[in-house]
Structure 1
Amino acid sequence: MELDIQVIQQDGSNYWLSDLGIQVEKFSPPAPTFTRTYTPVGKYNVASSETHTSERKIPLVFDVKTIDSVDQELMRLKLFDLFRGYEDFYVVSSVIPSIRWPVHADDGFNVDPYEASPIMTEDITVNLVVTGGFGETINTTANMENNIPLGFDIPFACLPPYRFTNQSDVKVFVGGSIPLLADGKTATLTFHGDVASQLSITNKTTGQVFQLNQALKKSQTLILYGMVPVVDGVNVYSKGNHAYLDYVKGINELLVAGATNYDLEFDTRYYV
C-alpha cells in the first residue's frame, strides 16, 4: 500500500496529500516520550519523580510534483498554508486510518527545487508536534460496534460499545498505550436512572468508589468526566464524596449500587 496522509483542518477542510501532487516518503510516529527528574537521597540513593509525558515529534517527509516553475511557487504557498504553525490540525495515515494525530507544525521548512527542476522538489521535512502527546482513535468506543480498530487487542468477550441496562456488575476495556486518568486523558461515564438518595459507582479493578448523595430521576443525566460530576449541566461536586474514577489498561470491572431502572454508558477514545 502506498503511504498517503490526510490533513484535516479546524474549519473542516481536509486533503489527501496525493491529490495535491505530494508524494509522502516517510511518516513514522515515534514511541511516546516520558521524562522523570531525579533527586539524590543520602549518599547512595536516588529518588525519581512521577513520570510525565514530554514533547513528541513526527517528521513528515515528502516531495512535490508540479507542472512548471509557476505551479511550483503556487504549491509553495499552498504548503505554507497547509502546515500552518499557529493552529492545531489532524493528520491521518492511509495505513492505519482508524487513528488520527492532533498536531501542529513546528519550526519552518524549505521548499527547494530538485537540482533546479521546475517539476520536482527536494525532500521536504515538516516536523509535526503531537498536541497532548498522543494519537487517538477517530471513533470513540460508542461508535466502534461495526468498526473495531486494529491493533488494540480488544477481547472478544469485552467488545464495545459499552452500554448497560440494569446491570450492576459490568466490564469495559481500555486499549492503547496509556491508562485513563481523571486528571488527564479520561473517559465519559453517563448515567440515567432512579436513585432514592445515594448512588455509588465502583471501579473494582482500581478500588476507587464514586458516590453521589442526591436523589435522581431517570429523566436526569449524570455525567462523570474527569474529576467533576455534572447533573443536567450543573456541577454537583459538593454533593459527592469528592472521589473520581481512573481506568487501567485492559479490563476494568465496574459495580453500580443504589440505583434502579438505569442505563450506564462508558465512552472513550484509545490513545497511542
Structure 2
Amino acid sequence: MTLIIIKQDGTRYNLRELGIRVIDFEPESLEVVNAVQEIEGGGYVVTNSGYGVRRLHATLQIKGYDMTDYALFRAEVFALFVGLESFYVIDEKVASRRWHVKPDGKFSISRKNTNGTFDITWLCVNKYAESIATTSSFKEWDADVWSWDGTIDWDEDLQYVFNTNQFVVNNLGNAPIDPCENELEIVIKATAASYLQIVNSTTGETYRFNGTLSTNDTLTIRGIQTFKNGVSSFKFTNHALISLKDGLNNFVITGGTIHSIAFNFRFLYK
C-alpha cells in the first residue's frame, strides 16, 4: 500500500519510494447535516440538508538508520506534509481517483528507537473524490487514470462531443457536477441569429446567451463564467448556470444550429 502526493506545481511523491510506510488510509464518509426547526407542541421538521466537512486519515511510519538519519527524515516529513497550500492525495488501490486536500491541524511522531509512527489528517477541499481523467482524456486500458469499476465499460463509447441540437450527457460519477464548486467547461461552435438557449431537461435548468454566433465564433461556458472568443460575455447571458446530475442528462438547444458542443469535466465520487 502506498499514497501518491501531488503538489500544486505538479511535483509527484510516492511515499513508498520516499521510505514512508503507509500503515492505514481511511477517508471519512460524507457527513449529512440537517437543519431542523422545532414545532410548537413537540417534534420538528427538517428544513434543509447538506454535507459537512470531510477528512482523510492516514497512519504512516518512518525508519532511520541511526538517530541522526531519523532526525533528518523527520524534518523531510514535516517539509512534505506541513504547509498552507492544498495538494492531491491518490490511494494506490484506487489509482484512478484523487482527493483534493489541505493539511489539518498538527501531528506528532511517536518514536521508538529509530522508528517513528504518526497519524495525519487532511481536510477535503472538494468533499468528493474526483477522477484523474477528464471527459476529454483518451481512454486507454493500461492508463492509471481510468477506473473499470462498473460505471465505465471498456466497450462503451464515452461521447462528450456532439453535433446535434438534442443529445444526452452521461455523468458516470455518483455525485452531481456543480459549476460553482467543480470543474465544468462547455465549448460551443454554433451559428445563431440572436440567441442560443441550452436546456438541461433533467435538471430543469435553462441557460441563454443573447447575441449572434457565426462559424468563426467559439462560446465557452467555464464554471460560472461565459466567454465569446475569449472575451468575458457573462453580461449577455441570463445569468443562469448549467449543472449535471449523476447519470443521464438530456439536453435540448434552440435558437441556433450546433456544429460542435463539448463537455469537459471530472467524474465525482461520494
Once the two structures are superposed, the pairs formed by residues 57-72 of structure 1 within 5 Å of their partners are 57-72=55-70
Q: 2:22 and 2:129 mapped to 1: Cα distance?
A: 19
Q: 1:217 and 1:152 mapped to 2: Cα distance?
A: 41
State the 1:237 CA deviation: 3.0
Q: Please give the root-mean-square deviation of Cα atoms over the aligned residues, in Å.
A: 2.2
Q: Which runs of 5+ in 2 are unaligned?
A: none
Give CA-to-partner distance per residue, 1:184-217, whole Å, 9 cap, x none: 3352211012212221111121222222221112
Code of the aligned partner of 2:147: P
1:65/1:131 CA distance change after superposition, 3 Å: same
1:153/1:68 CA distance change after superposition, 3 Å: same
1:46/1:67 CA distance change after superposition, 3 Å: same
1:126/1:235 CA distance change after superposition, 3 Å: same
> 1:262 matched to which residue of 2?
259
State the 1:44 CA deviation: 4.1
State the 1:83 CA deviation: 0.5
Q: 1:177 and 1:130 mapped to 2: Cα distance?
A: 17
Once the two structures are superposed, the pairs formed by residues 82-97 of structure 1 within 5 Å of their partners are 82-97=80-95
Once the two structures are superposed, the pairs formed by residues 136-151 of structure 1 within 5 Å of their partners are 136-146=130-140, 148-151=146-149
Q: 1:214 and 1:144 mapped to 2: Cα distance?
A: 34
1:112 to 104, 110, 113: 110
Q: 1:216 and 1:157 mapped to 2: Cα distance?
A: 36
Q: Which runs of 5+ in 1 are unaligned?
A: none
> 1:239 matched to which residue of 2?
236
Q: 2:255 and 2:150 mapped to 1: Cα distance?
A: 34
Q: 1:208 and 1:52 mapped to 2: Cα distance?
A: 21
State the 1:42 CA deviation: 3.4
Code of the aligned partner of 2:189: H
* Sequence identity (%): 25
Code of the aligned partner of 1:94: E
1:208 to 193, 200, 205: 205
> 1:252 matched to which residue of 2?
249
1:73 is paired with a residue whose SS is helix
Once the two structures are superposed, the pairs formed by residues 1-272 of structure 1 within 5 Å of their partners are 3-114=1-112, 117-118=113-114, 120-121=115-116, 123-146=117-140, 148-151=146-149, 153-154=151-152, 159-165=157-163, 167-185=164-182, 187-260=184-257, 262-272=259-269
2:267 is paired with a residue whose SS is coil
Give CA-to-partner distance per residue, 1:44-87, whole Å, 9 cap, x none: 45232332332111111111122111111011100101101311
1:270 is paired with a residue whose SS is strand
Is the 1:143–1:161 Cα contact (8 Å) retained in structure 2?
Answer: no
From the two aligned structures, give the one with the greater strand fraction.
Answer: 2
Q: 1:248 and 1:131 mapped to 2: Cα distance?
A: 20
State the 1:9 CA deviation: 1.3
State the 1:156 CA deviation: 7.4
1:247/1:157 CA distance change after superposition, 3 Å: farther
Q: 1:42 and 1:221 mapped to 2: Cα distance?
A: 57
State the 1:29 CA deviation: 1.2
- Calculate the TM-score normalised by the size of structure 2: 0.89
- Calculate the TM-score normalised by the size of structure 1: 0.88
